[in-house]
Each structure stands twice: as structure tokens, then as C-alpha cells.
Amino acid sequence: MSIKKNDNVIVTTGQNRLKQGKVLRVFRDRDQVLIEGVNLKKKHQRPRKEGEKGQMIEVPHPIHLSNIALYCPSCGRGVKSSAKIMAMKSKKDLPAGQAGKKTRVCRKCGKEI
């Protein structure tokens, strides 16, 4: 699963198609993610305290992983990603501790996501 918390994603199918947002939570056992501001459902909330009014609140519901894609800011659209291990050519190329780390790269433009 290449989607992680705080990733920018875009919805590819359904009524929320082409909406983008940040991943709030990943449900690995169900292969679903919760995206900020996408797939909102209205929920009736009862009053908790005396004198408080009941209200309707909008709560995000999870979306299946097959219906979303990672958003590449340089391409400006949803893309597939691949893993790349950062190689160090010289000490000036990468900051300390970055050599040999695995990162996700856009398959279209080759830039890091």
C-alpha cells in the first residue's frame, strides 16, 4: 500500500471525482482511507448537555484505495508511484542521513512525491 497519512491524493471515481485532499487516516485491514473534505456525510448529533441544541454535522467517510491516486504537484494530476533508493554521488548532493533511503517517485515526471 503506497498511500500514507498526510499524503495528498485525488479521487478518481464516484461522486467526489477530481476532488483532492490530505489523508487523515489509513484503514489497512479494510484497504480504505479517510480524506479531509471529501466524501462527507451528514450525521444527526443529539444534545449532550441540558440547554444545548441538537445539530447536523458533516463527517468524512472512508474511500476505498482503488478509487484514489497519489497527487503529483509537478504533473498536476493523480499518478502511480514507484520506489527509488537515493544514491549519493558526492557529499553535497544530499543532506546528512538521506543517502540510501527509499523514497516514492512519480512514474510520469520522475520527481519525488
**45-83: pLDDT as tens digits:** 999 889 899 999 999 999 999 999 999 988 888 887 878
Fold of the domain built from segment(s) 8-106: SH3 type barrels. (2.30.30)
The model carries a pTM of 0.75
Does residue 35 contact residue 48 with C-beta atoms inside 8 Å?
no
Judge whether residue 91 has pLDDT over 80.
no
Mean pLDDT of the chain: 87
Which comes out higher in pLDDT, residue 99 or 113? 113
With the CA atoms of 85, 75, 12 and 58 taken in that order, what torsion angle do they form, in degrees rounded to the nearest 10? 100
| Pairwise CA distance, residues 51 & 76, whole Å | 49
- Nearest Cα to 65, choosing from 33, 39, 37, 41? 33
Per the CB < 8 A criterion, the answer to whether 85 and 101 are in contact is yes
Do residues 35 and 24 lie in contact, with contact meaning Cβ atoms separated by under 8 Å?
A: yes
Residue 43 has pLDDT above 70, yes or no: yes
pLDDT reading at 109 higher than 90: no
Percent of the chain whose predicted confidence (pLDDT) is above 70: 88
